[in-house]
Amino acid sequence: MDYSICSDQDLIFSAHSGDRHAEEELLMRYRQKVRICARRFYLLGGDDEDLLQEGMIGLLNAVRSFNPALGTSFNTYAEKCIKSRLIDAAQFKGYVEFISSEDLVLEDSADEESNPETLLIKYERYEEVVSQLRLKLSKYEASVLDLYLNGFSYPEIAERLGKSDRSIYNAIQRIRAKLSEFL
The predicted-structure confidence for 94-113, as pLDDT tens digits, reads as follows 554 544 444 334 344 444 44
Q: What is the pTM of this model?
A: 0.55
Q: Is 105 part of any domain?
A: no
The Cα 122–Cα 104 span in angstroms is 6
Considering its fold, how many domains does the chain have in total? Answer: 2
Sign, Cα dihedral of 176, 170, 90, 117: positive
Q: Is 59 part of any domain?
A: yes
Neighbours of 182 (CB within 10 A): 13
The verdict on 8 and 92 lying in the same domain is yes
The verdict on 90 and 149 lying in the same domain is no
The verdict on 91 and 156 lying in the same domain is no
The Cα 6–Cα 21 span in angstroms is 12
Q: Is 137 part of any domain?
A: yes
Q: Identify which has the larger pLDDT, 176 or 137.
A: 137
* Residue 73 contacts residue 66 (beta carbons within 8 Å): no
Q: Is 155 part of any domain?
A: yes
Q: What is the pLDDT of residues 37-50, one digit of tens each?
A: 887 765 544 567 77
- Whole-number pLDDT of residue 105: 40
The verdict on 13 and 48 lying in the same domain is yes
The verdict on 71 and 142 lying in the same domain is no
Q: Is 149 part of any domain?
A: yes
The verdict on 7 and 90 lying in the same domain is yes
Neighbours of 161 (CB within 10 A): 16
Structural domain range at position 14: 3-97
The verdict on 28 and 84 lying in the same domain is yes
CATH code (residue 66): 1.10.1740.10
Q: How far is CA 87 from CA 38, 41, 81, 98, 126, in A?
A: 10, 9, 10, 11, 18
